[in-house]
Amino acid sequence: MVPSVLRLDQTVFDAICSMAFREYPLEMCGLIAGDPAAHGPAHAVRFYPCRNVAESAKLYTIDPTDHFKAEMDADDHDWEIQGVVHSHTHSEPYPSPTDVAQAPDPGWHYVIVSLKRDAPELRSYRIIDGTIAEEPVHVVRDTT
């Protein structure tokens, strides 16, 4: 698997971490989107918060209506959904067996923010055929 890089606008990073704290002790979830034609690393410029219909501290299920709305808004902006984000409230930011089993798209970035320590810890992975590969995450000044 070729290592990749995920770039997140600062506002995207901040929105992800804010939602993780707001939803605690339940897992939060959402989608990230960016320009599909961008050259180089994927660059998420938008975070779509989604309701966790599982309402669980141990797993997440994105509300299908929220997913549909995110897809429509991304399409309106000529973006594409680049990945999914969720939180781990008490564990490391590493994909669980459930996360791997639920990984729907080998092209997506699977972002996990952990609240296990004092400060949120965000990591991203590519999951292809059950193989997990961590990728660097660069938080950048907003471009929009």
Domains of the chain in start order, with CATH, are 6-130 (3.40.140.10)
Average pLDDT (40-49) is 92
Which is nearest to 44 in space by CA: 31, 27, 26? Answer: 31
pLDDT bracket for residue 144 (50, 70, 90)? low
* Helix, strand, coil % in the chain, rounded to nearest 5: 20, 35, 40
**pLDDT above 90 (res 68):** yes
pTM of the model: 0.94
Residue-by-residue DSSP string for 59-95: ---B-HHHHHHHHHHHHHTT-EEEEEEEEESSS-SS-
**pLDDT above 90 (res 139):** yes
pLDDT bracket for residue 61 (50, 70, 90)? very high
In 3-state terms, what secondary structure has residue 97? helix
Is 64 exposed, middle or buried (CB count within 10 Å of its CB: 0-12, 13-18, 19+)? Answer: exposed
pLDDT at 58: 93
How high does pLDDT run on average in the chain? 93
Average pLDDT (25-53) is 92
pLDDT bracket for residue 143 (50, 70, 90)? low
67 vs 142, higher pLDDT: 67
Average pLDDT (30-55) is 91
pLDDT at 3: 58
pLDDT at 38: 66
Average pLDDT (45-64) is 97
Rounded to whole angstroms, how far apart are CA atoms 25 and 45?
27
CA–CA distance from 73 to each of 64, 78, 127, 133 (Å)? 14, 9, 25, 29
